[in-house]
Chain A
Amino acid sequence: MIEGFVALYIFMLAAFVGYEVIGRVPVILHTPLMSGSNFVHGIVLVGAMVALGHAETPLEQVIGFIGVVLATGNAVGGYFVTERMLEMFKSSKGGAK
């Protein structure tokens, strides 16, 4: 479990990482990158699974269930959409993808 200030430090450092990692991205990749980062926050699936796994009352189960369905859609859809887009990028010199 991550708590308190440790979590805050993680938050701060991760924010800088996110900013730096795509700092100099060419416009050509904006759409795939938006799609790719959209896929990455599909990690919410892990949290949704825990929420459903720990749900006790029927109401919690229903909401948790919806959460897992939505999160899976985010992760799976995000992945295939991004992959399809990136598959298409080719150089005229051939080879490199």
Chain B
Amino acid sequence: MSGWQNMLIQSVYFLAAALFILGLKKMSSPVTARGGIVWAGVGMVLATLVTFLYPHLGNFGLIILAIMIGALPAWWFAKKVAMTDMPQMIAIYNGMGGGAAATIAAVELIRVTGGHSLTPIVQTLAVLGAIIGSVSFSGSLIAFAKLQGLMRKSLLFSGQQVVNLVMFVLTLVLGIIVILQGSGASIEMVILFFVLALVFGVLMTLPIGGADMPVVISLYNALTGLAVAFEGFVLGNAAMIIAGTVVGAAGTLLTQLMAKAMNRPLSNVLFSGFGAKGGQEATGEGVEGSLKPIDATDAAIMMAYAQQVIIVPGYGMAVAQAQHKIWELTKALTERDVRVKFAIHPVAGRMPGHMNVLLAEAGVPYDLIFDLEEINAEFEQADVALVIGANDVVNPVARTDPNSPIYGMPILNVDKAKNVVVIKRGRGTGFSGVENYLFYADNTRMLYGDGQKMAAELLQGMKVL
């Protein structure tokens, strides 16, 4: 290995690692976020280019072909995908990273069976990275399939947790055998080990319901980071160790923030199958009051003569693609000197901040958008709270009924507003399957219909006034 090559490679990796960290730092403020991703992107391009100078590197044609095959569809889909489908895109790209980490481990472990020796520590890290990367890969694919609607039902069967536990232990045991046998391990053993790890990823993700997917994707994101870091150890590559670990830690923190916002420990998200019963018809049993419908014209009048309106969007807005109409509605209200604010629950939508992205897409300035803590006290002064496609995150039983499965979850106190208008397609419950008492409250009116259509009708009603 010639000195200057190695020097150049290490310096560029060093620079890339610094750019990644600075980029992430910049991404944590809305003002500088745009620049942040560009910085990180520059680091990535530099690191990739310099890797071609790696000593004893062969298969150049294959490498370039593989990069082209990987890059073109990824670029195309990333450009085309609708903003509403972002969560599953992130899931699939993340899964690919996990899969890549697993393949690095696979190549290294197969080389070991061919007589190439690694120290036990390096081999252990390779195996750990292999398990984590494989689980992240197959798990993310399932998450993608669920969010894309390719897989409607959550698969639940009795003894599922036992089966999963057994699978996990089997994978671990096989991994340990691969480590202990070192170069004596057969190639079949290594292959079986990978198959088990992949199957475990599938089984682990299957029972988790759609509502919990944000947390799961975030977790897999952190896991992929960790897997990359471990494979970085194996290859002695500092850029991978640093970038992977930073993502692993940042992702873990994000996952915790999300789980906290749902007021559920992570273990509960992963192992309870809670969010799985979505979409059933509500029975309304045991709820006092009734559902009181309203039509769009009346709702428009109510809002037009209000002083303050708070709009609470949820996943229903994303499904209906109603964000553009909602922004037009907001502008129409602002022209009438109505103060309009947006209240976003941390887990509204299918990812944290999902609503913010959609609203930003429609052109809503981010200084009109408020977090739960910022806005909750304001509902009492609001004349109208317009709930569009949100359900569990505005359900007052989370405050009042200790027996409810969502009890203790922080919610937006929409019920405290003087009037509540709920745009909703049908009478179904939210993802949690819990009846929403807000809809039966005396100050609540239900505006049944598709979010986009209803928003357009509200706008129409506003214009004729």
The chain A residues found within 8 Å of chain B, CB to CB, are: 1-3, 7, 10-11, 14-19, 21-57, 59-61, 63-93, 96-97
Across-interface contacts of B38 in A (CB, < 8 A): 83
Evaluate contact between B36 and A36: CB separation under 8 angstroms.
yes
Across-interface contacts of A72 in B (CB, < 8 A): 66-67, 69-71, 74
How many interface residues does chain B have, given as a range?
Answer: 35 or more
For this complex, 22 residue pairs linking A to B, each with C-beta atoms less than 8 Å apart, are: A10-B242, A21-B246, A28-B30, A30-B257, A32-B37, A39-B40, A40-B44, A42-B44, A46-B51, A47-B231, A47-B235, A54-B57, A64-B62, A69-B66, A72-B74, A74-B100, A76-B71, A77-B78, A77-B96, A79-B78, A80-B78, A86-B33
**How distant is the Cα of A63 from the Cα of B105 in the complex, in angstroms?**
10
Considering the complex, give the chain A residue whose CB is closest to the CB of B352.
Answer: A30
Considering the complex, give the chain A residue whose CB is closest to the CB of B229.
Answer: A11
Check A76/B244 contact, CB under 8 A, given A22-B254, A70-B99. Answer: no
B401-413 near A? 1/0 per residue, CB < 8 Å: 0000000000000
Evaluate contact between B225 and A41: CB separation under 8 angstroms.
yes
Check A14/B249 contact, CB under 8 A, given A47-B240, A77-B78. Answer: yes
Considering the complex, give the chain B residue whose CB is closest to the CB of A78.
Answer: B93
**How distant is the Cα of A22 from the Cα of B23 in the complex, in angstroms?**
11
Across-interface contacts of A42 in B (CB, < 8 A): 44, 93, 97
Evaluate contact between A43 and B66: CB separation under 8 angstroms.
no
CB proximity of A91 to chain B, nearest CB, Å: 5
Across-interface contacts of A65 in B (CB, < 8 A): 62, 65-66
Most buried by A among B33, B38, B48, B248: B33
Q: Is the interface of B mostly helix, strand, loop or mixed?
A: helix
CB-contact partner of B353 in A7, A31, A61, A68, under 8 A? A31
Check A35/B86 contact, CB under 8 A, given A10-B241, A21-B21, A93-B367. Answer: yes
Across-interface contacts of A51 in B (CB, < 8 A): 103-104, 107-108, 235
Across-interface contacts of A14 in B (CB, < 8 A): 229, 241-242, 245-246, 249
Evaluate contact between A33 and B27: CB separation under 8 angstroms.
yes
CB of B176 closer than 8 Å to a CB of A: no
Evaluate contact between A88 and B357: CB separation under 8 angstroms.
yes
Evaluate contact between A70 and B100: CB separation under 8 angstroms.
yes
Across-interface contacts of B58 in A (CB, < 8 A): 53-55
Evaluate contact between B59 and A52: CB separation under 8 angstroms.
yes
Check A36/B66 contact, CB under 8 A, given A42-B97, A50-B54, A66-B103. Answer: no
Check A53/B238 contact, CB under 8 A, given A29-B30, A60-B107, A77-B77. Answer: no
Evaluate contact between A33 and B48: CB separation under 8 angstroms.
no
Check A50/B57 contact, CB under 8 A, given A10-B238, A27-B344, A67-B100. Answer: yes
Across-interface contacts of B366 in A (CB, < 8 A): 28, 89-91
CB of B156 closer than 8 Å to a CB of A: no
Across-interface contacts of A92 in B (CB, < 8 A): 365, 367-368
Evaluate contact between B107 and A55: CB separation under 8 angstroms.
yes
Check A19/B365 contact, CB under 8 A, given A43-B240, A89-B34. Answer: no
CB of B75 closer than 8 Å to a CB of A: yes
Considering the complex, give the chain B residue whose CB is closest to the CB of A18.
Answer: B249
Across-interface contacts of A66 in B (CB, < 8 A): 66, 99, 103
CB of B218 closer than 8 Å to a CB of A: yes
CB proximity of A23 to chain B, nearest CB, Å: 7
Across-interface contacts of B31 in A (CB, < 8 A): 91, 96-97
Evaluate contact between B245 and A15: CB separation under 8 angstroms.
yes
**How distant is the Cα of A37 from the Cα of B106 in the complex, in angstroms?**
24
Please name 17 further chain A to chain B contacts, defined as beta carbons within 8 Å, in addition to the given A35-B86, A41-B228, A77-B93, sorted by A numbering: A7-B233, A17-B21, A18-B246, A30-B258, A31-B86, A37-B221, A37-B247, A37-B250, A40-B247, A44-B101, A47-B240, A51-B103, A54-B57, A56-B111, A63-B103, A68-B70, A70-B96
Evaluate contact between B244 and A41: CB separation under 8 angstroms.
yes
CB-contact partner of B34 in A2, A33, A47, A87, under 8 A? A87
Considering the complex, give the chain A residue whose CB is closest to the CB of B107.
Answer: A51
Evaluate contact between A40 and B40: CB separation under 8 angstroms.
yes
**How distant is the Cα of A33 from the Cα of B69 in the complex, in angstroms?**
26
Across-interface contacts of A36 in B (CB, < 8 A): 23-24, 27, 36-37, 40
Evaluate contact between A22 and B51: CB separation under 8 angstroms.
no
Considering the complex, give the chain A residue whose CB is closest to the CB of B257.
Answer: A30
CB proximity of B349 to chain A, nearest CB, Å: 8
For the complex of A and B, the 10 pairs showing the least CB-CB separation, nearest first, are: A72-B70, A18-B249, A92-B365, A67-B103, A80-B78, A77-B74, A30-B352, A71-B100, A68-B66, A53-B57
CB-contact partner of A21 in B100, B250, B357, under 8 A? B250
Evaluate contact between A23 and B93: CB separation under 8 angstroms.
no
Across-interface contacts of B231 in A (CB, < 8 A): 44, 47
